[in-house]
Amino acid sequence: MDKEISELNKKELLDLFRAAHSEVIEIEIVSDGISQKENELYYVRETSVVGWTVEKIIGMCFLGLFGFSISFLISTLLGQFNDSAITWSVILATAFVIIAHNMKKANIRNYIKENNQRLTNEINELEIKLDETIKRCANKIYNIPATYRYSLALNKMQEYIINERATEWVRCVDLYEEQVYRWVMEKNSQESVELQRQILMYTENAARGANAAAVFSGISAVANVAQLFK
């Protein structure tokens, strides 16, 4: 683009916003996919192999009771129910619990290992796709000041032009900054939640290679807004 964004007229601004918004949406789709996989990976890695939940404790108690019942029944049928039989019943019940617990730990370890590798590979593939998507479609984005390179900002600025609330870049920025302030005050509105999500996503994406940093690093300046929601 030969002109600075501040020199564009109403039509030129609208065309720029639409083109940049379309490019940003493509990038956000891939970015959302990465975020989802990273959340899955976090859940997998946080899975405990030794944690004692109420469900586990109840299950172990039933297994212990089952082992004790089997030993008690055998001793009764053989007519050898005595202190020794009770001792063996307790030992068998304990063995049932230990074996079941170790089997559960082994299953969880296998679950973590398999899913950790699968999700790591999927994230790596998506990061490569993100880099390729940026190279392919990030043409108009670079004409937008870095602080506003996310879909929520670009969408609102299109609205300002279409609704004739603004005809120049400076006015679009003023209106959007006023809107962000209102979202911060509302905190729990749909738009404020979406703003926080996009800021977080772009801030994280800034670390995903040189091409991602070129597009997203400026969003870190908006990260200060996220602090206001807390």
pLDDT number for residue 84: 60
- What's the number of domains the chain is made of? 1
Percentage of the chain beyond pLDDT 70 is: 64
Domain that holds residue 201: 5-228
CB 146 within 8 A of CB 218: yes
Half-sphere exposure of 70 (CA within 13 A, CB side): 11
Residue 138 is classified by DSSP as T
Residues near 29 by beta carbon (within 8 Å), at least 6 away in sequence = none
Question: Reduced to 3 states, what is the DSSP secondary structure of residue 229?
Answer: coil
- At 112-158, the pLDDT tens digits run 888 888 999 999 999 888 888 888 877 788 888 888 888 889 999 99
Report the alpha-carbon distance of residue 10 to residue 156 in Å, rounded: 15
Average pLDDT, stretch 92-115? 74
Amino acid identity for residue 216 in this structure? F
- At 164-191, the pLDDT tens digits run 999 999 999 999 999 988 887 877 677 7
Task: Quickly state the pLDDT bin for 64 (edges 50, 70, 90).
Answer: low
Report the alpha-carbon distance of residue 161 to residue 167 in Å, rounded: 6
Q: Does the pLDDT at position 209 exceed 80?
A: no
